[in-house]
Structure 1
Amino acid sequence: MNLSRFQYNMFSKKILKARTGIEAIVACRNNPDIDLVLMDIKMPDMDGYEATMQIRQFNKDVIIIAQTAYALTTDREKAIEAGCNDYISKPFGQTLFAELMKKYFKK
């Protein structure tokens, strides 16, 4: 990803980081007011599709954007079917990220 931690902070007050699908589920469960999940598809322990499906069992409202460097034509469909709101291929820049934030967080 081409965004630095500073650039993320332009869009968020608090950033949580999970290295595995299981950590992502725990972070979402422990932070029910979370607004956005940037879900990597390829993670240890559990992939992003399964993690998304499990998060959707207890949080239907959080925006989940799938991200992967392995952009296959079926990845977008699989991400949406798993419960992601959107899909983005890595690397991506600040402009594209800002457009997604405007799309989901119109303020």
Structure 2
Amino acid sequence: MKKAEIKLTIELDDNNVPENIKWESTDSENKEQLATKAMILALWDHNYKNSLRIDLWTKDMPVDEMKRFFYETLQTMGDSFLRATGEKNIVEDLRDYCAHFAEKMEIKQGQ
């Protein structure tokens, strides 16, 4: 069985606000830590039947990039949900909402 490890390194300021977020994976060709401005990690706790989440972003994450990050996260959650369940109709509804979200947040497509 193959195993991979993902490592997150979070540097916090004196108020525990993230200043730097870095990650690396043993399964990646790139062996150095990669910097990022935001992350969302969701895990399913099958014992309690609920999700566990870690949402972090650095204090210098621009608001326009945060809007796009959420938009793209919603889009890719739709992709994952479709692969996991085959529920095409509800994913189309989610896509419609994503288009509405992008319009309201003034997110330009393809940027």
Provide the TM-score with structure 1 as the length reference: 0.28
Pair member with larger Rg: 2
In terms of fraction of residues, the more helix-rich structure is 1
Higher relative contact order (CA 8 A, sep 6+): 1
Provide the TM-score with structure 2 as the length reference: 0.27
In terms of fraction of residues, the more strand-rich structure is 2
